[in-house]
Structure 1
């Protein structure tokens, strides 16, 4: 069975986009050419908040090296188990990875659910360039979560991993009864890494977004994923640092101290929450 196509909409006029040669074109003749790597850039320059938004090349490369070693495999397993549980007799789904980064989780989903249609987008062009190398069967987009270039009510599942959520946009593109899977840091996530670079470390706060959901979204369940990682060299430790927001806040001395450790046992603790889109529409 061929996967169902991902239905795109024009980020300028919001009309449907159709494929035309190596481009996507709407009825108002707005045209978006596919890059050589296969992705579409559907983030117009006048809707960017900065010239190069999102993660830079260094962070993308670090994340790729680190995740490719399988340290976060328990997260992938939990994610895929949940997505499979949403299916109707294992019928193909349309799945959206919102803020997909360099595509590690997106590609894993497509490999496990190969009949499903999968779309991944990120605001960072370097991330989508890297993602495009992982799997050519995924629709990769440069896009913003606050204005998705996607047609209404087509996705069975939206996933958001350590990324910003826009409940209104997620609700718009989800089918009634569809699900949102959100991964957020647990209170003690990467505690050993944080203790190695800060004098004082506080637990991560609970995610308040899930305590104040709009009426058309309901929290079904939450679970905590625990896993202990043994990082055996300085490269892995520094790559983990570069994956996190802490990368932007540590100074040269703190980075040097961390790099000199050479070995770090670190706990992964993530909160996986499942939200369902109720059948009532909001616009």
Structure 2
């Protein structure tokens, strides 16, 4: 596998192409964005933030890193990598964006697959803590602080967009994907982490109705369910799972206390992968 960072970025202020210097990215209008010590760039202007520190917190990112590196979502990563690498012809280079990349686990797993494909990879997240952690682990990819609502990449510049448990913006995904490009969305299935949810919530919500039609500009290509069981053998792993998800803030105080008292928990991992092709 040949891995390179995706470098066709655009200015978030005027949408002009950005050029890389040794220390920054610059546009023809003079807007400059410094490259951090870790190697990432912040392309989320302060006027486009909805809070001072948007996205997942440093604690959530740290917990998620430990949980993912323990292999609990390895089955999801393998399914995602398989679908990405099966897109297009066997020797076609692929430009791939993980829109909501977190600390970069899924891109690193993709980059670790043995393949003849050449990949140009970009991870983007609205959380500066997530991107900082991702860039600190692997500099083969490009890493950007940015928003799915206004992706800082040119029109029709990507072959694949990943949206992993994230915030889909179909119109933006359609803009940046080439015709025939793949949008791969991963969403929690009805039984995903159900054992934990039964502990922390008094009652469970009814499962969300499955999507009936593809988003405008796309046609559904594949739907795959990944389901398996995992055992969490320590209080630390259970707490990491709780902290890394929005369940930490949605659970009742009593529910959180019950989860925090556990030292062992068998959980179901169930996700749906939906692959849609850009028309």
Q: TM (normalized to structure 1)?
A: 0.93
Structure 2 CA distance for aligned equivalents of residues 31 and 224 of structure 1: 43
- Residue 219 of structure 1 is matched in structure 2 by 220
Contact 2:3 2:141 in 1 (8 A): no
2:153 to 150, 153, 156: 150
Q: What is the CA RMSD across the aligned residues, in angstroms?
A: 1.6
Contact 2:222 2:276 in 1 (8 A): yes
- Residue 99 of structure 2 is matched in structure 1 by 98
Gaps of 5+ in 1: 279-283
Structure 2 CA distance for aligned equivalents of residues 212 and 220 of structure 1: 10
How far 1:111 sits from its partner (Å)?
A: 2.3
Structure 1 CA distance for aligned equivalents of residues 102 and 3 of structure 2: 26
Structure 1 CA distance for aligned equivalents of residues 254 and 9 of structure 2: 47
Contact 1:155 1:173 in 2 (8 A): yes
Cα shift readout 1:168-209 (whole Å, capped 9, x = no counterpart): 11111111110000000101110000011122123431354x
Structure 2 CA distance for aligned equivalents of residues 4 and 259 of structure 1: 40
Structure 2 CA distance for aligned equivalents of residues 116 and 38 of structure 1: 19
- The DSSP-based 3-state class of the residue aligned with 1:151 is coil
- Residue 195 of structure 1 is matched in structure 2 by 198
User: Which consecutive aligned stretches of 4+ in structure 1 deviate over 4 angstroms post-superposition?
Assistant: none
Structure 2 CA distance for aligned equivalents of residues 248 and 4 of structure 1: 35
- Residue 257 of structure 1 is matched in structure 2 by 258
Cα shift readout 1:235-275 (whole Å, capped 9, x = no counterpart): 10111111221111224432221122210000000000000
Structure 2 CA distance for aligned equivalents of residues 138 and 81 of structure 1: 19
- Residue 248 of structure 1 is matched in structure 2 by 249
- 1:49-88 map, 5 Å: 49-88=50-89
